[in-house]
Amino acid sequence: MKEKFMVTPELLKENFIEVYGEGAEIRMFASPARINIIGEHIDYNGGKVFPAAIDRYLYCAVRKRSDSKIIYNDLFFSGTFTFDINDSFKFDEKNDYANFLNGILSCMKKQGYSFDTGFEVLIASNVPSAGGISSSSALECGFAWAISETFGFNISRKDIALMGQQSEHEFMNVNCGIMDQYIIATGKKDTAEVLDCAKVEHEYVPLNLGDYRFIVMNTKKKRRLADSKYNERRSQCEEGLAILKKAAIPLSNTGVCSNTKDLPDLCSLTPAQFEECGNAIKDEIIYKRVRHCVTEMDRVLQAVDALKANDLVKLGSLLYGSHDSLKNDYEVTGIELDTLVEVASKQTGCIGARMTGAGFGGCAIALVHKDYAEALIENVQKEYTKIIGYEGGFFACSSGDGVKEIFA
Ligand code: GLA
């Protein structure tokens, strides 16, 4: 295991040879982290979300072997994991990060892809792990792309995303939506992506931030998606939808449906329609969860328009609105994320901030004028450390590309 440093393709190659020795062709791939600009916890409610891939990459180097062995090493995590391509892969706590890779292999095998040899892999990531900017999806999708390309499977980007999600559901036992895997597989530099999660289709929107930058602010709070209340939130939404469908309330306002019994998902309800039917939900918690989904979907549509119209101030105010809703209605923020957002919002040049990703820790983002970015980082760090008792992590990000092959 090495001390943490910023990995480059050259260093990845050097280290691969150090670990496995010289030999046949080494192929190398980069897989980005992501921020979600807005549209939180609605990907699994048929909503539209607005993420962007960022210029922080996880790297995966692969070389085919002449036997059927599989060997995984990670530059920054200790332990070598060895399997055989003919194994039937099962989740096992002691396999640590190798579970993400085995999960993908298990999906590939289920889908009928067959391997003529084993392979060796070196992972090296510049993405903070379990930090809420999708380090695990970067690993899953980066590895899936690397294997697909190396073995000539030619799996499409969309199918790579779906495979990453399938592996989370079936292997890792996390009932996640499609947002993270999709943006990581399909992202494009200088754009954000409006992803319609009901149709599983996307539209690229130029990410013109002018003099503004997104700063990623990491709570550094320890958490794992599976330990969190993620799956619970998902079932509360399902309950909300079931109540509305059962109540069969006619809707006079225009939307996807004219009666709640026909609602395909919560995000098909407009805010005006929610006014008409929301009272059918008597449980206050379920009511708040549903209200978050409906209002968040509306904020996404407004945010996309604001970005297209270069109205960054409007975009920023929608970010604050999203955070409030995630704090009060969806209840997935917590003191660490709230502190980051609140302190950032008071800094000169900051026009918006919100938690990003699943919440319960992880990261927030702030939209700030570039001339004030450094001061924001310094001041928020100081205040955060004072209030929370340990330091957060901060960096300015730009947009990045989805999974791709790299060369050194
Ligand atoms: C995690 C999940 C995504 C999405 C977000 C919340 O990142 O992997 O599918 O649900 O949380 O928006």
Give yes or no for residue 180 CB within 6 A of ligand 1.
yes
Active site residues: 180
- Would you call 55 helix, strand, or coil by DSSP? strand
Task: Write out the two tokens for 369.
Answer: 């004028």
**pLDDT at residue 158 is higher than 90:** yes
User: Rounded to 5 degrees, what are φ and ψ at 153?
Assistant: -75, -25
Tell me the pLDDT tens digit for each residue of 250-292.
Answer: 999 999 999 999 999 999 999 999 999 999 999 999 999 999 9
Name the band, by pLDDT with cuts 50, 70 and 90, for residue 15. very high
pTM, two decimal places = 0.97
**pLDDT at residue 59 is higher than 70:** yes
Averaged confidence pLDDT in the chain? 96
How many Å apart are CA 75 and CA 16, to the nearest integer? Answer: 9
User: Rounded to 5 degrees, what are φ and ψ at 129?
Assistant: -80, 145
Going by C-beta distance under 8 Å and a sequence separation of 6 or more, which residues neighbour residue 372?
Answer: 347, 348, 349, 350
Give yes or no for residue 353 CB within 6 A of ligand 1.
no
Name the band, by pLDDT with cuts 50, 70 and 90, for residue 348. very high
**pLDDT at residue 224 is higher than 90:** no
Tell me the pLDDT tens digit for each residue of 182-200.
Answer: 999 999 999 999 999 999 9
How many Å apart are CA 394 and CA 375, to the nearest integer? Answer: 12
Name the band, by pLDDT with cuts 50, 70 and 90, for residue 1. low
How many Å apart are CA 373 and CA 217, to the nearest integer? Answer: 12
**For 215, how many CA atoms within 13 A lie in the half-sphere containing its CB?**
33
- Would you call 51 helix, strand, or coil by DSSP? strand
Report DSSP letters for 253-317, one per residue: S-SS-SBGGG-SSGGGS-HHHHHHHGGG--SHHHHHHHHHHHHHHHHHHHHHHHHHTT-HHHHHH
Give yes or no for residue 40 CB within 6 A of ligand 1.
yes
Q: Separation of 89 CA from ligand 1 center, angstroms?
A: 25
Nearest C-alpha neighbor of 62 from the set 115, 113, 103: 115
Tell me the pLDDT tens digit for each residue of 378-391.
Answer: 999 999 999 999 99
**pLDDT at residue 223 is higher than 80:** no
Name the band, by pLDDT with cuts 50, 70 and 90, for residue 128. confident
Name the band, by pLDDT with cuts 50, 70 and 90, for residue 130. confident
Q: Separation of 134 CA from ligand 1 center, angstroms?
A: 9
Name the band, by pLDDT with cuts 50, 70 and 90, for residue 5. confident
Q: Separation of 38 CA from ligand 1 center, angstroms?
A: 11
